[in-house]
Amino acid sequence: MATFILVPGGWHGAWSYDPVVPLLERAGHTVHALTLTGLRPDDDQETVATANLDTHAEDVLRLLDRAHLTNATLVGHSYGGMVIAAAADRADGRVSRLVHLDAYVPRDGDSCWSLTTETYRQAFASGAAATGYAVQPPPGGDPRRRPHPLASFVQTIRLTGALAKIPRREFVYCSGWEDRTPFTDLRTRLLADPDWQVHDLPTGHNAMREAPEAVAALLT
């Protein structure tokens, strides 16, 4: 059986995986869904202001240490793709599989800011205008969403090349929002890369909510 660490996207918490977690657990897998630092309901302003991509990678690494996990599968949704890449690069071989679920797949020197579209960059900037450090959630959507630390969106990732040693690297492209997705070019790039396996799901961006059974089946 597999051990999954599920990392949410921007503004979201562990709750975003609620439809998927019981499906994986009923299949006998061990599942850890994370809420990243700065996005927990009781985090104070200083915590939000100082959290960045390194902080979020450390959230994953602390879980690996605390639970004595090896051979782990990291799943990252959207911004969470940045987090799982940074964490896996520093995990000293304890990660055996990466699944970027409609998520950014960075190379050394990238950031969420540099990889996304101008529309999202404008949304990040305008969303942080009130505080300068916390990006408000876009209008609509789940009321449990929290302001997201701006520093984590703009920080450059530093990768050593250790990701190339991870046996399984997968990208899931959600095709149901092709008019707005920032991942079309990424899908094309990874389809041409023999080290990556690319899957397509005919859902919108939040596939965990729209098609939890399909997501669980893909993961298992």
The span from the CA of 35 to the CA of 113, in Å, is 21
Catalytic-role residue among 16, 78, 96, 152: 78
185 φ, ψ to 5°? -65, -35
19 φ, ψ to 5°? -70, -20
Q: How many CB atoms lie within 10 A of CB 26?
A: 9
- Sign of the C-alpha dihedral, residues 197, 201, 206, 210? negative
96 assigned to active site: no
The closest alpha carbon to 8, from 78, 95, 82, 100, belongs to 78
User: Could you tell me if 60 and 80 are in contact, meaning their C-beta atoms sit under 8 angstroms apart?
Assistant: no
| SS3 call for 170 | strand
Enumerate the active-site residues.
78
